[in-house]
C-alpha cells in the first residue's frame, strides 16, 4: 500500500510538469530543483558593441572575463565589478572606456583618466587653452584631432629676468703734432678717462629653474674721454755761441739798417703792418721776407728802469745792453744759456733782425734775466719811458717774425 502511494505522488509530479511544458512552451522549464544550475543573464554594453550572455559565474567581473571582453584599469562599469550574480537574474552593465592622460603644469604632474575624446576637447576641458602663453609655452604629444588616449600636455612657465653686468670702457690715446714744442718734447693736453657700460642680459627660467641667458643690449653709461698727447715738431735751434767781438759789430750793423725805419707810435715802432700770407710782411710800406714765424711771450724793459730797480748806480743811469750798445727802442733781449754761472750761448743769435707784432722791427742785442723760457723776448724802450708811463706793454703773447740771421 505504501509503495502504491509513492508511485501516485511521482506520477502526479510528472503530470504537472507535462502540463506546464504544454502551457508555457516559450519559457525555460526547470527540470531540476538545484539552483546552482540556473544561469544568470549578463548584458555588457560598450561604445562599439553589445554582448548578451548566460553565465554560471558568481561575480560580474568574472562574467565579463568569461565573455572575452578586455578591460583597462581606466575603464568604468555602471555596476560594481564584484556584484554577486543571482541565478535567473538579468544584469545590464555599461562599460565606459577612458583614456590615460598626463597633465603637467609648472613642474607639477597629474596622471588621470578621461572619457575618450579628441586632443582638442581635452585641451578645452582641462583649461589649458586658457593659460596665458605670454608667460609660458604649452607642449603636447598629439595633434588636436587625434584621440587623447595616452596624451600628455605640459605647460612650461617661462620667466625672463633682466640683469646687467657693468664694465669699464677703456679710453684711447691719440698723439698730435705740436709745432710750438721742440722735437723730443711731449705734453699731455687732455688726460684720458675710462667710460662705463652695462651689458644687458636676459636670463630664462623654466618652472623656476635657470636654463640660460642671452645678451640683448649694451647701455653706454659714460663715454670714455680720449687722452691727447702733444708731440713737439719744432726743430731745436743750435745754441749760438757768444763771440763778443763779432756779436757787437753785427748788432751795430743790423741796428743801423732798421734804426731809420722806426717810428715811435705808443708801444709800437711803426704805424702800419700786414702779413701778406706769402712769406713776406709789409711794415709802413716796406716789404720784408721772413725766415720763420712763431708765437712768443714778450715783456718790456728800459735801461734806466733796470738801474732804478737794481740800485746799482747813484744817480741811476741808462744801462748798456750785453753787446755794449745803449738800451733803446728797436732792441730786444733773448734767452741766455748759462754754464757754471757764465753765458755760453743765446736762444736767438745776437744780431738777428726781427719783427714783433705790436712792437715793430728790432735787433737781438741783449740777454734777459728770465731763466725758464727760451722763447721769451724782452722788448727794450727808451730810458725813462716805463717810469713815465709812456708805454703800457706789460706781458703779451705775439707773432714774432725772424727776418734775418747774422
**How does pLDDT run across 235-280, given as a tens digit for each residue?**
776 666 666 667 888 999 999 999 999 999 999 999 999 999 999 9
Same domain for 388 and 259? yes
The CATH code of the domain that includes 254 is: 2.40.40.10
72: preceding bond cis by omega (within 30 degrees)? no
Same domain for 257 and 276? yes
The CA distance from 326 to 248, in Å, is 12
Residue 216 lies in a domain: no
CA distances from 281 to 67, 87, 132, 293, 332 (A): 129, 142, 85, 11, 20
Same domain for 301 and 384? yes
Asked if pLDDT for residue 360 goes beyond 90, the answer is yes
Same domain for 324 and 307? yes
The CA distance from 83 to 90, in Å, is 12
pTM attached to this predicted model: 0.44
Same domain for 176 and 156? no
Please, are residues 342 and 334 in contact by the beta-carbon 8 Å criterion? no
Same domain for 72 and 41? yes
The CATH code of the domain that includes 185 is: 2.20.230.10
Grid coordinates given for 325: 750798445
Which pLDDT tens digit goes with each residue over 73-87? 667 788 888 999 999
Burial class (CB in 10 A: 0-12, 13-18, 19+), 261: middle
Residue 250 lies in a domain: yes
Same domain for 313 and 193? no
Same domain for 346 and 296? yes
Which pLDDT tens digit goes with each residue over 298-353? 999 998 888 888 878 888 888 899 899 999 999 999 998 888 877 788 889 999 99
Same domain for 266 and 320? yes
Residue 198 lies in a domain: yes
Same domain for 255 and 352? yes
Residue 378 lies in a domain: yes
Phi, psi of 392 (to 5 degrees): -135, 40
Same domain for 249 and 334? yes
Q: What's the domain range around 264?
A: 244-404
The number of folded domains in the chain is 4
Residue 35 lies in a domain: yes
State the Cα angle at 178 between 177 and 181, rounded to 5°: 135
Amino acid at each position: 500500500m505504501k509503495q502504491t502511494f509513492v508511485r501516485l505522488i511521482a506520477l502526479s509530479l510528472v503530470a504537472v510538469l507535462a502540463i506546464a511544458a504544454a502551457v508555457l512552451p516559450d519559457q525555460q522549464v526547470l527540470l531540476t530543483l538545484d539552483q546552482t544550475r540556473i544561469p544568470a543573464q549578463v548584458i555588457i554594453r560598450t561604445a562599439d558593441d553589445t554582448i548578451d550572455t548566460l553565465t554560471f559565474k558568481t561575480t560580474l567581473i568574472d562574467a565579463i572575463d568569461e565573455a572575452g571582453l578586455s578591460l583597462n584599469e581606466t575603464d568604468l562599469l555602471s555596476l560594481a565589478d564584484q556584484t554577486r550574480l543571482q541565478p535567473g537574474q538579468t544584469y545590464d552593465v555599461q562599460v565606459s572606456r577612458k583614456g590615460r592622460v598626463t597633465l603637467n603644469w609648472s613642474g607639477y604632474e597629474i596622471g588621470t583618466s578621461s572619457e575618450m575624446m579628441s586632443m582638442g576637447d581635452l585641451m578645452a576641458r582641462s583649461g589649458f587653452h586658457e593659460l596665458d602663453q605670454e608667460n609660458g609655452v604649452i607642449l603636447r604629444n598629439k595633434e588636436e584631432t587625434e584621440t587623447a588616449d595616452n596624451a600628455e600636455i605640459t605647460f612650461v612657465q617661462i620667466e625672463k629676468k633682466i640683469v646687467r653686468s657693468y664694465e669699464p670702457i677703456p679710453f684711447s690715446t691719440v698723439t698730435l703734432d705740436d709745432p710750438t714744442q721742440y722735437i723730443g718734447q711731449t705734453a699731455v693736453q687732455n688726460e684720458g678717462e675710462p667710460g662705463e657700460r652695462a651689458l644687458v642680459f636676459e636670463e630664462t627660467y623654466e618652472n623656476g629653474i635657470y636654463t640660460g641667458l642671452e645678451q640683448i643690449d649694451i647701455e653706454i653709461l659714460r663715454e670714455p674721454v680720449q687722452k691727447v698727447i702733444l708731440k713737439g715738431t719744432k726743430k731745436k735751434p743750435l745754441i749760438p755761441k757768444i763771440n763778443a767781438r763779432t756779436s757787437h759789430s753785427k748788432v751795430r750793423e743790423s741796428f743801423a739798417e732798421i734804426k731809420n725805419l722806426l717810428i715811435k707810435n705808443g708801444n709800437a715802432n711803426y704805424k702800419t703792418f700786414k702779413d701778406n700770407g706769402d712769406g713776406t710782411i709789409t711794415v709802413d710800406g716796406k716789404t720784408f721776407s721772413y725766415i720763420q714765424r712763431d708765437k712768443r711771450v714778450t715783456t718790456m724793459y728800459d735801461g734806466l728802469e733796470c738801474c732804478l730797480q737794481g740800485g746799482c748806480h747813484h744817480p741811476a743811469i741808462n744801462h748798456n745792453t750785453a753787446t755794449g750798445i745803449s738800451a733803446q727802442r728797436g732792441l730786444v733781449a733773448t734767452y741766455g744759456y748759462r754754464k757754471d754761472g757764465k753765458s755760453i750761448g743765446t736762444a736767438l743769435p745776437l744780431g738777428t733782425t726781427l719783427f714783433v707784432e705790436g712792437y715793430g722791427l728790432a735787433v737781438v742785442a741783449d740777454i734777459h734775466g728770465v731763466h725758464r723760457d727760451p722763447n721769451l723776448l724782452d722788448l727794450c724802450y727808451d730810458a725813462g719811458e716805463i717810469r713815465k708811463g709812456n708805454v703800457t706793454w706789460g706781458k703779451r703773447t705775439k707773432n714774432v717774425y725772424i727776418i734775418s740771421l747774422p
